[in-house]
Amino acid sequence: MAGGVRSRCPLLLLFLVGVAARAAASGVVTDGLLPNGNFELGPANSALNGTRVMDPNSIPNWEISGFVEYIGSGQKQDDMILPVPEGARAVRLGNDATIRQRLSVVRKASYSITFCAARTCAQAERLNVSVAPESGVLPIQTVYTSTGWDSYSYAFKARHSAVWLTVHNTGVEEDPACGPLIDSVAIKTLGPPRLTKGNMLRNGDFEEGPFIFPDTAWGVLVPPMDEDVVSPLPGWMVMSGTKVVKYVDAAHHAVPHGARAVELVAGREAALVQEARTVPGRRYRLSFSVGDAANGCEASMAVEAYAARATARVAYESRGTGGSKRAELEFAAVADRTRVVFQSDNHHMRTDGTLCGPVVDDVALVGVRGHTARRLL
Ligand X SMILES: *[C@@H]1O[C@H](CO)[C@@H](O)[C@H](O)[C@H]1NC(C)=O
| Residues making contact with ligand X (CB under 6 A) | 49, 128, 130, 135, 137, 168, 170
What is the distance between the alpha carbons of residues 241 and 233, in angstroms, rounded to a whole number?
18
- Nearest approach, Cβ of residue 76 and ligand X (Å): 17
- Nearest approach, Cβ of residue 177 and ligand X (Å): 10
- Nearest approach, Cβ of residue 38 and ligand X (Å): 24
> Of 143, 101, 120, 209, nearest to 350 (Cα)?
143
Are the C-beta atoms of residues 263 and 358 closer than 8 Å to each other? Answer: yes
* Residue whose CB is less far from ligand X, 18 or 133: 133
* Residue whose CB is less far from ligand X, 67 or 331: 67
* Residue whose CB is less far from ligand X, 25 or 44: 44
What is the distance between the alpha carbons of residues 37 and 87, in angstroms, rounded to a whole number?
11
- Nearest approach, Cβ of residue 51 and ligand X (Å): 10
What is the distance between the alpha carbons of residues 59 and 98, in angstroms, rounded to a whole number?
13
Amino acid occupying residue 286: L
* Residue whose CB is less far from ligand X, 104 or 170: 170
- Nearest approach, Cβ of residue 74 and ligand X (Å): 22
* Residue whose CB is less far from ligand X, 52 or 375: 52
* Residue whose CB is less far from ligand X, 130 or 216: 130
What is the distance between the alpha carbons of residues 117 and 184, in angstroms, rounded to a whole number?
9
- Nearest approach, Cβ of residue 101 and ligand X (Å): 14
What is the distance between the alpha carbons of residues 130 and 24, in angstroms, rounded to a whole number?
25
- Nearest approach, Cβ of residue 139 and ligand X (Å): 11
* Residue whose CB is less far from ligand X, 130 or 278: 130
* Residue whose CB is less far from ligand X, 137 or 229: 137
- Nearest approach, Cβ of residue 330 and ligand X (Å): 42
- Nearest approach, Cβ of residue 128 and ligand X (Å): 4
Are the C-beta atoms of residues 186 and 213 closer than 8 Å to each other? Answer: yes
End-to-end CA distance of the chain: 46
Torsion of CA 224, 355, 94, 166, to 10 degrees: -40
* Residue whose CB is less far from ligand X, 98 or 145: 98
